[in-house]
Structure 1
Amino acid sequence: MAVTHVVTFSWVEGTSAGTVEDILRNLQEWIDRREGLEGLESWKAGPDLGVNEGNADFAVSATFTDQDAYLRYRDHPEHKRIIAEQIAPLISSRSAVQFAH
């Protein structure tokens, strides 16, 4: 059964668009290498378009062949590094969900 992971972030005040672009670029470069990401079917991320008030600032949506593939992604050392070094220090709020389909 496939698993989709969706996570949204709101950044702390003062987080620049350039910083967010750097985060997105680093995530995308890691995803593009596909090393240790067997079972990743799709991955998309980006900043909110600003169409609706109250939205989060940034989102990631990824679909995996199964729960084990999601767990490999979640626990991948490069993923953890990017989160620890670039994302976590800038988060004012985070929400996530994983669902099977």
Structure 2
Amino acid sequence: MKRTVFLASVLTLLPLFAAGQPPAVAPDFEIARDAVERGDILPLAEILNRLARVHPGRVVEVELEYSKGILVYEVELVTEDGRLIEVDMNAATGDILGVEEEEDDD
């Protein structure tokens, strides 16, 4: 099945923290781009391709955060059966760290 992933919604990159200090005043996307260029993290496209093989669905939000000493892509997506889940992936390796189903606020 041919699958195209659109990030039509918000793509939010949060500031990356090194040694507990915020990085210089570079915009978030530049910090993420530089981390990819240095080989510190995988490109978002590769992360989304890996994720689609395990959890197919429509991506609605992506955040890059520093958590527990590593950079983590937090990907929120709607599964093919209509559930909203958040998948945390190690930004350097692409390994899935956790999957959480979002609760309805109704």
TM-score relative to the length of structure 2: 0.32
Q: Does 1 or 2 have the higher relative contact order (CA < 8 Å, sep 6+)? A: 1
Provide the TM-score with structure 1 as the length reference.
0.33
Greater per-residue helix proportion: 1
